Amino acid sequence: MRIQGPALRLTVFVGESDRWNHRPLYTEIVHRAHRAGLAGASVVRGCEGFGASSRIHTSRILSLSEDLPMVIVIVDAERKIRAFLPQLDELVEEGLVIIDPVEVIRYTGRGAEGEA
């Protein structure tokens, strides 16, 4: 798979303790993105942040280290990102979803025969 040129970056902010059927929400989003054939997804665990509740979550203080921010980033062609949005509507009850245009300089995945 090869992507170059204009694309969309889908960024989803959720909490570490958010769940979907007893499983971390970020894990469910990544697995659904994989099943949907998106180019890739990365999850980044935040060390500090706050959201709609205005409560600070930080890894520096043990009592506040619950529910740290989790950020899922997916970049792919616009049509594929937009086709994935209904799944996020189903999954994300509380969180932030951002879509912004990006330009992909180079992405090369493995071919069907495992070529680099």
Q: Domains in the chain, ordered, with CATH?
A: 2-105 (3.30.70.120)
Q: Residue 47 has what pLDDT?
A: 80
Q: Each residue of 7-38: pLDDT tens digit?
A: 999 999 999 999 999 999 999 999 999 999 99
Q: Each residue of 72-102: pLDDT tens digit?
A: 999 999 999 999 999 999 999 988 999 999 9
Q: Residue 58 has what pLDDT?
A: 67
Query: What is the value of pTM for the model shown?
Result: 0.82
Q: How confident is the model at residue 112 (pLDDT cuts 50, 70, 90)?
A: very low
Helix, strand, coil fractions of the chain, as percent rounded to 5: 25, 40, 35
